[in-house]
Amino acid sequence: MKLVKDIDNNENSKSISDKEAEEAFKTILAWMGEDPSREGLLETPKRVVKAFKEYFKGYKEDPKKILDKTFGDVDGYDDMVVQKNISVQSHCEHHMAPIIGKAHVAYIPKERVVGLSKLARVVEVFSKRLQTQERLTMQIANTLMESLDAKGVAVTIDSTHQCMTMRGIKKEQATTVTNYYLGQFKEDLSYQNRYLRFISITKD
């Protein structure tokens, strides 16, 4: 059963032009107390629109297509595949402030494996959307489980939320850790424990 509904890339799509978005940012600049017509800000709305296209490019990408191609020539390998320290740059949906951290991903293949770069790309697609860390963790796990027909999936994210380090409570050292387990990782604590040991190992 799918526990988290993915955002349809076209469900909320509107035909809003770059120019309209730039005008909206001009309004925000004026609301802040700035003069959008002064020299230093003339190109700012255009630059912000360009930056937002990069920050939120995940809305235009389908993570399941990334996992379409798998490989069966693995000589029966059936233990976990763990990828650590995948960088995460996202934005919280409540304040649109950056979320910066790392993701760790593991899956247990049934018969086929996927290229290692694809795991990081799935993290990237979901990160490049407005998010809560809890939902981001679950979306990555559910997509890997369903698309790879895996025996189990584990996902951990450890990140800093600038909505609470730069504003509000302003606790600069606070980090948030979320975990989500499916299949054998959820049913068998020995798999969870091995996975947690693997992701805690650091290089000297």
Q: Which domains does the chain have, with CATH numbers?
A: 18-55 (no CATH), 63-200 (3.30.1130.10)
Catalytic residue among 34, 83, 89, 93: 93
- Taking only the tens of pLDDT, the chain with its 204 residues reads 444 455 444 555 568 999 999 999 999 999 999 999 999 999 999 999 999 999 999 999 999 999 999 998 888 898 999 999 999 999 999 999 999 999 999 999 998 999 999 999 999 999 999 999 999 999 999 999 999 999 999 999 999 998 888 888 777 778 999 999 999 999 999 999 999 999 997 654
Catalytic residue among 22, 91, 92, 139: 92
Catalytic residue among 104, 124, 131, 133: 133
Q: Is 95 a catalytic residue?
A: yes
Q: Is 192 a catalytic residue?
A: no
Q: Is 124 a catalytic residue?
A: no
Q: Is 91 a catalytic residue?
A: no
Closest C-alpha to 135, from 157, 108, 119, 117: 157
- pLDDT for 129 equals 98
Catalytic residue among 22, 104, 124, 161: 161
The Cα 10–Cα 48 span in angstroms is 22
pTM assigned to the model? 0.90
For residue 170, the one-letter residue type is K
For residue 22, the one-letter residue type is E
Catalytic residue among 22, 163, 184, 192: 163
Q: Is 104 a catalytic residue?
A: no
Q: Is 93 a catalytic residue?
A: yes
Q: Is 43 a catalytic residue?
A: no
E-assigned strands of 93-175? Answer: 98-108, 113-114, 130-131, 152-161
